Structure 1
Amino acid sequence: MTSPRINTDSLHDWLATPTGQYLLRWEQGQFDRAVADVFGFHALQLGLSEFDALAANRMPHRWLGCDRLPVGASLGRDVFLTQYEALPFSDASLDLLVLPHTLELSFDPHATLREVARVLVPEGRVVIAGFNPTSLWGVQKSCGKGPPDVGDYIGHWRLRDWLRLLNFEVQDNHFGCYRPAVRSERWLQRLAWLDSAGSRSWPIFGGVYMVSAIKRVRGMRLMGPAWKTSPARAAKAVTTATKGME
């Protein structure tokens, strides 16, 4: 049984609106750029089945984990139902996770982020998209006229603090979607000039942000070639164990 979510249906409905499609276009481009050169074997998109955030990534094993079955899709090896706070993967088994608004839709965003840290390999990467509370969209949401109420928006600096506590190092961040959340496609196009003006004049006030971070493990170091060890050290038996995918 999955954990309760916060107004998940309202977000999925809003994403079908002109402003929702505007958001998805921006985020698709940002995810494509962020994951294209991330290498490894196992990648997971957690939530938001409306688009493929891993489309530009070339890892051989890519999954979509959802809290509900995507409309028009059937369960298969690439799509599965899961709790965001309890992922069905072994410790240090994934190379890349992408979270498109997953923390906002999670019943416990702290627990979700801890799960991300648990399943990522050392030097693994996480890419997170979220609504920006210090933006025009944040003001509209507080008035009930903007994006749907999906619980508390998690601020960019607040998220960075959470990541730092879990030994992540933020590598990159971007803000986007400076147009107001309007219902008309015509007005949305008329206000297109705000994207260039906003990114140039008030960059941190975009409606959404994207953060990319790497999991660091303190004290981890690479071992040298075996023939360079001393005779006494080479005589000692050393075994290692690697957890595979469950």
Structure 2
Amino acid sequence: MRNDDLVHARHPTELISRWYNTPMGARLAKDLAACLGRLADDAFGYHAVMVGAVLPCEPRLRIRARTQVAATREELAETPLMAVQADFDYLPIETESADLVIALHVLESTREPHEIMRELDRIIRPEGRVMIVGVNPVSFWHWQKSWLGREKMMRTGYLAGQHRAAWRVVDWLRLLGYDVQSVEHLGGVCPTTRPRFYDKMTRCRALSGKWLWFMQGFYVIDAVRRVSTPTAIRPAFRLPRMIPNKTRATVANQTTCQTTPPSRQQPSGRTINLFKK
């Protein structure tokens, strides 16, 4: 099988998982795991689900019960977590059972991400957390597609799939009723394949995080699912009427009925005029 056919045959998340096992991918996965652990430091619950690509280093979470869902068996070969192979459109997880969901490059795996968004929304409990990781399509990391060939895309697996903008994903989450807490950016502006050069550009990445955050390669969206509880509409508050007022109204009605003169009827037969001489 040729490399071109191999690129089309493999799942996008599998290519991304393979790239995270490269030296440069492992270095970026370390920063990504630290970012996810920092954002999820105040996330509590019983069940956490990681959907999508598999990181070589796991983020530190307070939730101990974790489940890894991937699209292929090759991605789940080395993970120590409870592994499940399934399609992202139909997750084998009960409705509203996950307290924390971390979606790693899930939206890149399909051209119609709305079904995946609804499926993620289904498994998250009310007031649960969701974190979505993606590649920034307006960064130089994404623009490498224009000058890299198909063969080199095997080495840069993060270019696989359809990249979604962070602001578009935020709009989808708000339409579903989520409260977006923050949007973190990482990876720097300039893409590289050497971890040493990546470490030397630490100060530049810090400056770009302040001024050129929209040009960095990766983003992490942190959102909370808000569920509105329906409440009955009550009438406006009014003071009760005084009893004398009710009595007066009753008496007035009775007086009006009693003082109304009855209709007079004309007597039948001949009338007598008493004043006639």
Measure the CA separation in 2 of the matches of 1:220 and 1:52.
Answer: 42
Q: Which runs of 4+ in 1 moved over 6 A?
A: 74-77
Measure the CA separation in 1 of the matches of 2:141 and 2:132.
Answer: 18
Counterpart in 1 of 2:241?
A: none
Counterpart in 2 of 1:73?
A: 77
Counterpart in 1 of 2:197?
A: 187
Measure the CA separation in 2 of the matches of 1:94 and 1:104.
Answer: 22
Equivalent position SS for 1:11: helix
Q: Cα distance 1:110–1:72, how it changes in 2: closer, same or farther (>3 A)?
A: closer
Unmatched segments (≥5 aa) in structure 1: 222-246
Shift of 1:129: 0.8
TM-score by length of structure 1 reads 0.77
Counterpart in 2 of 1:119?
A: 123
The two structures, once aligned, show a CA RMSD in angstroms of: 2.6
Equivalent position SS for 1:158: helix
- 1:17-49 per-position Cα deviation (integer Å, ceiling 9, x unaligned): 343123212111111112222111111011222
Of 151, 161, 166 in structure 1, the residue corresponding to residue 176 of structure 2 is 166
Counterpart in 1 of 2:107?
A: 103
Q: Cα distance 1:23–1:40, how it changes in 2: closer, same or farther (>3 A)?
A: same
What amino acid maps onto 2:119 in structure 1? E
Counterpart in 1 of 2:146?
A: 142
Bigger helix fraction? 2
> Is it true that 1:64 corresponds to 2:102 in the alignment?
no
Q: Cα distance 1:37–1:75, how it changes in 2: closer, same or farther (>3 A)?
A: closer
Measure the CA separation in 2 of the matches of 1:5 and 1:111.
Answer: 21
Measure the CA separation in 2 of the matches of 1:77 and 1:203.
Answer: 33
Alignment length, in residue pairs?
A: 217
What amino acid maps onto 2:216 in structure 1? G
- Asked if the contact 1:19/1:181 (under 8 Å) is kept, the reply is no
Measure the CA separation in 1 of the matches of 2:111 and 2:164.
Answer: 13
What amino acid maps onto 1:136 in structure 2? F
Shift of 1:185: 3.5
Q: Cα distance 1:52–1:79, how it changes in 2: closer, same or farther (>3 A)?
A: farther
Q: Cα distance 1:49–1:77, how it changes in 2: closer, same or farther (>3 A)?
A: closer
TM-score by length of structure 2 reads 0.69
- Asked if the contact 2:179/2:226 (under 8 Å) is kept, the reply is yes
Measure the CA separation in 2 of the matches of 1:39 and 1:69.
Answer: 29
Of 25, 28, 37 in structure 2, the residue corresponding to residue 23 of structure 1 is 28
Shift of 1:13: 3.2
Segment of structure 1 superposing worse, 158-167 or 198-207: 198-207
Counterpart in 1 of 2:162?
A: 152
Counterpart in 2 of 1:227?
A: none
> Is it true that 1:46 corresponds to 2:67 in the alignment?
no
Equivalent position SS for 2:42: coil
- Asked if the contact 1:94/1:119 (under 8 Å) is kept, the reply is yes
- 1:85-107 per-position Cα deviation (integer Å, ceiling 9, x unaligned): 11112221111100111221246
Give matches, 1:78-97, under 5 Å: 78-97=82-101
Measure the CA separation in 1 of the matches of 2:165 and 2:68.
Answer: 25
- Asked if the contact 1:167/1:215 (under 8 Å) is kept, the reply is yes
Computing the radius of gyration from Cα coordinates, the structure with the larger value is 2
Counterpart in 2 of 1:233?
A: none
Equivalent position SS for 2:164: coil
Measure the CA separation in 1 of the matches of 2:135 and 2:222.
Answer: 15
Of 213, 217, 221 in structure 1, the residue corresponding to residue 223 of structure 2 is 213
- Asked if the contact 2:188/2:208 (under 8 Å) is kept, the reply is yes
Measure the CA separation in 2 of the matches of 1:142 and 1:214.
Answer: 36
